Structure 1
Amino acid sequence: MNKQKKITDTLDQQVQLLKDKKNIILQGAPGTGKTYTTASLAVHLCNPSFTELGDHAKVMEEYERLRKEGQIAFCTFHQSMDYEDFVEGLKPELQESHVTYKVEAGIFKQVCERAHTAEGKDIIACIDDYLQKIRGYENRREIPTITGKSKLFVWWEEGNKTISTRSVRAISHNTEQYSPSPLNIDKVKAQALGERTENNWPAYARAFIEAVKEEYQMDEVTSSKPHVLIIDEINRGNISRIFGELITLLEADKRTGGGAHPIKVTLPYSKESFSVPANLHIIGTMNTTDRSTGAIDYAVRRRFAFITLEASREVVEGSIQDKGVQAKALALFDEINGKGADDKTSFIATHQAGDFDLEDLKVGHSYFIAKDLPELQRKMRYEVIPLLREYIKDGILQAKEGDGEYFSAWEQGECRGPKQAVESKDPEADKE
């Protein structure tokens, strides 16, 4: 099997799992290619006709194109991230001499909005058509507010860059056509696309967008165009806190537009009706040796499928052109990680401590890929050795006599060698 076909077959299996489960996490030790694999997966899902999956530069070029078009979004979780950052929250804004607060959509809400847009029913075209229906005060419509507790008058004067709105309860001391809360049309369209918010009257803008969707029955047709949200270092954040009540909506059967039991919730700040579309897929990455994070709880785990990426000797071999450098890199890979799953003589196997699996402790293949010997030496000195020292410091590897000899040899791009690796014998045994 050639390299290109093997890559494609592996990605096909992973994409199918992503389509079925909707949410997956790529887990593994540092350097196993988790972040790059998310890009390949996202590209393969969003553009199945893209065939050059073995070309790193072209994959990243296509990834960037899809990101700019809004099909792929990326974020990184961290320990101070919360629901208000990820879904929506109140953000302060200085207006003239006083501070006001507005509801601002987070990346998850934005990407859900983009994924919801139905194919064949362009929200922008529908807004433009709706404006023609409410052209002139005499053609004004009554639409419900987001909370449903009141209603708004909406109308549009031809040529204006704003939509006129007024609460039906408002008492105007001006003309009948006075609008105390005009909506900027371009900003309303941007809000409908999930790009940004109509910052002056976001709740009224959302009410208007919902009225347009209702008019053209847009919620009844969900886009099949795949969208991907990549969450790097997903286990560094408190996932339950960040997703909040939306954790339930992540399940495949709870999605709108394809789920057997679709669910909508009312968001706490904007009071908008919210759901997660079936065409949104989430790919997380997780470093299995990161002890600074808490464990992922069972409620989260059962909503994700897990794919483990392993340190690959084959990747090292196929990524280095210089045969001399390749030989040294492979020898170092073998001495540190082992020649196979059953090799108990490697540095990692002989230093293993705690409750980590051997595979979780291996040094990923990206640390061994170098174009020449000086680069390999730099990687060993400034990346691999510090990583292993950190493992020893954290107690997930145990220190042993002779470690300094390993590290000194590796800094030169050389192995310690089998002769030096032999454990010292009992001196009394030599007398027998």
Structure 2
Amino acid sequence: MQASKKSEFLALYQEFSEDYPLTEKGKEHVSAYSKHRQQGQQNYREVEAVAARGEDITDLVLLKWIPYSDTPANREREVWIHHAPCVTGDLVKKSENNGNTVDWAETAKTIFQFVKHCNDNPADLETACQNYETSPHSKGFQTGYLTPILNALRPDDFLLINSKSQRSINYFTNSNYSTKIANYPQINDAERQLVNSIASDMRAIWDSELRDDDQFDIFCHWLTAIKKHTLKPPKYWKISPGDGAWQWDECRDNGFIALGFSELMDVSNLSQQEFNVQRDKIINQYPELNWNKDGGVNQVWKFSQISEGDRIVANRGISEVVGIGTVTGAYYYQHDAEKQRHRLPVHWDDTTVRSFNFPKGWVKTLIPLNANRFSDILQAPKIQEGMTLMGKGDVSIQPPNETYTLTQCSKDTYIDEALLHSWVSATNRKKQAILYGPPGTGKTYLAQRLARHLLSEGDGCKEIVQFHPAYTYEDFIEGIRPKQGENGGLDYPVVAGQFINFCEKARKRQDTCVLIIDEINRANLAQVFGELMYLMEYRDHEVTLPSGRTFSIPNNVRILGTMNTADRSIALVDHALRRRFAFLPLYPNLLGLAQFHADTDFAVDGLIQVLTDVNQSIGDLQYQLGTSFFLQKSLKDDLQAIWQMEIEPYLEEYFFDQPDKVKQFRWDAIKTQLQA
């Protein structure tokens, strides 16, 4: 999604979260997803059982697999009531009244075969869609009719696509997908990629009980059916909130942007010709205003024509952006305002101050922007809190963090980029994750690289803390620390722990901040975390700590833990804690070992075979021997020392009661194979 589209999406999603989910209809809509899926699954089994007996399934398919609206008549007919209906009344009668001749038995059979094919072979979706599309009995039954039942059966594989979601996907991805079944595999993938890219942003605004794709679906319903967005591309405008942005605080706090030339009075009902007459009348009547027919006064007409959904960039001078917003209504004239009476209502989505050098000649109050310029502004560097203008538009700016893409991370860690993407998405969704696996799998190394990616190009910070058996709540959250007082006695102040201090730093940053907790399971987690157990699940809440201080976790904080499963099994971690983290498994990566040594003088095949034999003998995934011991350029020279001083002691401990197994993996027993 382009930066400008993403900014618009986030503004609309914020508006949606405040407007719809907490209404009675919104609550009903939220609860409907699970209920209608369960009913759809039951309907599928019912029809499948009838078909297996060789009985007629025509009516059942048309009534139980097609989504109907919730009406008294439909409830009485016991059809499948669904939150995304395609049929209001009697499907067969409607078709007959329209003069259509339909072989309903063959149509139902075609639908049955298609849905069953998809359910039994989800990976074969494209073939199923092609076969269905070529059938003469598929006419009229496209994605809106058929994807609700597919989604009920396999929500992870098949997303619900109807005209609402189709139009929204096309709008936000600049695509042109249709609602035909033949196009379903492509739009299904497109929505999945779109939702993955915005899931963490949606959760940060409204973290509901729904799946990520359901959150997007209910947003699409609101956007098209309730807000009635035209889904046409917005226009972009730079508007200065007064010279030197003198009116910015008022505009930001009260949700508007304004222009001067108040003597023109209200222009909302004027045609452009009538506006010109009014303008000329004022110019002739008040020459002291020094207005020019070709000058700034004409900006008022452009201003009055700006549409709901258009984007506004508020600037200060020629080097600062102070706010970015979305127009939420029509132009109005504020009669009782002292100045700047021509106004537009604006929801200010982003009030981060940014450095942006506008081109010369952009000193006018109102200037149209193109989409590329708007995207450049969205990505302009942020001016950190407390920093001030140094001179003629020059800004002292802390450089953003270095760029570190997932492609670079994949290259550095030898882990598939798609898998890394899913892990990053999970981390942003849950806001805390644990990398777990046996020793030597590179958990801490990967945590550092994932943190580096999460911080990429932002102003966020990173810290690392090592947990151990003696680590306490007082170390992590807060506790009493005795210190010598002024008169030689002892004082007992309450001192913030590492996590509190980290969160205070994060509050001063705009972007993601990452705390890495190494060996997280070596401490008593329930005791160390305390109230954090609650806050990790409810990020928008705050709690009162024992000291009386109120505390909450900033939304931009991510926690990455590492857990050695050979030290303590994941099964021993408190269940309440486990459900607050995403758990990311990391096991020996023999392919990565081979890739690393492709550029060294060490022949790695023998080592890979020995490690495979060792891990087969261990026979427990959580205790297998990792590869990070051997990821060094000088391995040829150091291998014997590594094996005898690091690998053998580990095997002696694991096979403490099976000395013969240790013996078969001693250096003298395997060195020939390793050095081959």
TM bracket (short chain): 0.5 to 0.7
The answer to whether the 8 A contact 1:265-1:273 is kept is yes
Corresponding residue to 2:642 among 376, 379, 383: 379
Deviations 1:70-129 (A, max 9, x none): 711110111111111100111011124111111111111011112223x6xxxxxxxxxx
Q: CA 1:372–1:85 in 2, change beyond 3 Å: closer, same or farther?
A: closer
Q: Does 1:236 align with 2:522?
A: yes
* Equivalent in the alignment of 1:401: 660
Corresponding residue to 1:285 among 562, 575, 578: 562
Deviations 1:175-229 (A, max 9, x none): xxxxxxxxxxxxxxxxxxxxxxxxxxxxxxxxxxxxxxxxxxxxxxxx4x11111
Identity of aligned residues (%): 34
Deviations 1:153-184 (A, max 9, x none): xxxxxxxxxxxxxxxxxxxxxxxxxxxxxxxx
Quote how far apart the aligned CAs of 1:17 are. 1.1
- Whole-Å separation in 1 of the counterparts to 2:571 and 2:589: 27
Quote how far apart the aligned CAs of 1:323 are. 6.1
* Equivalent in the alignment of 1:73: 463
- Whole-Å separation in 2 of the counterparts to 1:402 and 1:274: 53
The answer to whether the 8 A contact 1:377-1:411 is kept is no
The answer to whether the 8 A contact 1:29-1:364 is kept is yes
TM-score by length of 2: 0.37
SS at the partner of 1:228?
strand
* Equivalent in the alignment of 2:542: 264
Q: Does 1:92 align with 2:482?
A: yes
- Whole-Å separation in 2 of the counterparts to 1:77 and 1:267: 21
Q: What aligned pairs does 1:151-190 form with structure 2 within 5 A after superposition?
A: none
* Equivalent in the alignment of 2:500: 109
Q: Does 1:276 align with 2:276?
A: no
Q: Does 1:412 align with 2:674?
A: no
Quote how far apart the aligned CAs of 1:405 are. 4.0
Deviations 1:18-70 (A, max 9, x none): 11010100001111010010111101011158xxxxxxxxxxxxxxxxxxx87
SS at the partner of 1:306?
strand
Quote how far apart the aligned CAs of 1:321 are. 4.8
* Equivalent in the alignment of 2:450: 41
TM-score by length of 1: 0.56
Amino acid in structure 1 at the alignment position of 2:484: L
Stretches of structure 2 lacking an aligned partner (at least 5 in a row): 1-406
Amino acid in structure 2 at the alignment position of 1:280: V
Q: What aligned pairs does 1:9-408 form with structure 2 within 5 A after superposition?
A: 9-47=418-456, 71-95=461-485, 96-117=487-508, 223=510, 225-251=511-537, 254-255=538-539, 262-269=540-547, 271-291=548-568, 295-321=572-598, 325-327=602-604, 330-336=605-611, 338=612, 346-352=613-619, 358-370=620-632, 371-393=634-656, 399=658, 401=660, 403-408=662-667
Q: Aligned residue pairs: how many?
A: 265
The answer to whether the 8 A contact 1:229-1:282 is kept is yes
SS at the partner of 1:73?
strand
- Whole-Å separation in 2 of the counterparts to 1:292 and 1:8: 27
Say which one has the larger Rg. 2
Quote how far apart the aligned CAs of 1:373 are. 2.2
Q: CA 1:106–1:249 in 2, change beyond 3 Å: closer, same or farther?
A: same
Quote how far apart the aligned CAs of 1:8 are. 4.3
SS at the partner of 2:493?
strand
Deviations 1:338-361 (A, max 9, x none): 2xxxxxxx2332344xxxxx3222
The answer to whether the 8 A contact 1:406-1:416 is kept is no
- Whole-Å separation in 1 of the counterparts to 2:432 and 2:569: 24
Stretches of structure 1 lacking an aligned partner (at least 5 in a row): 50-68, 120-222, 256-261, 339-345, 353-357, 418-432
* Equivalent in the alignment of 1:424: none
Amino acid in structure 2 at the alignment position of 1:244: G
SS at the partner of 1:20?
helix
The answer to whether the 8 A contact 2:476-2:528 is kept is yes
The answer to whether the 8 A contact 1:233-1:286 is kept is yes
Q: After TM superposition, what 4+ stretches of structure 1 lie above 4 angstroms from structure 2?
A: 5-8, 291-294, 321-324
Quote how far apart the aligned CAs of 1:10 are. 3.5
Greater helix content:
2
Q: CA 1:17–1:294 in 2, change beyond 3 Å: closer, same or farther?
A: closer
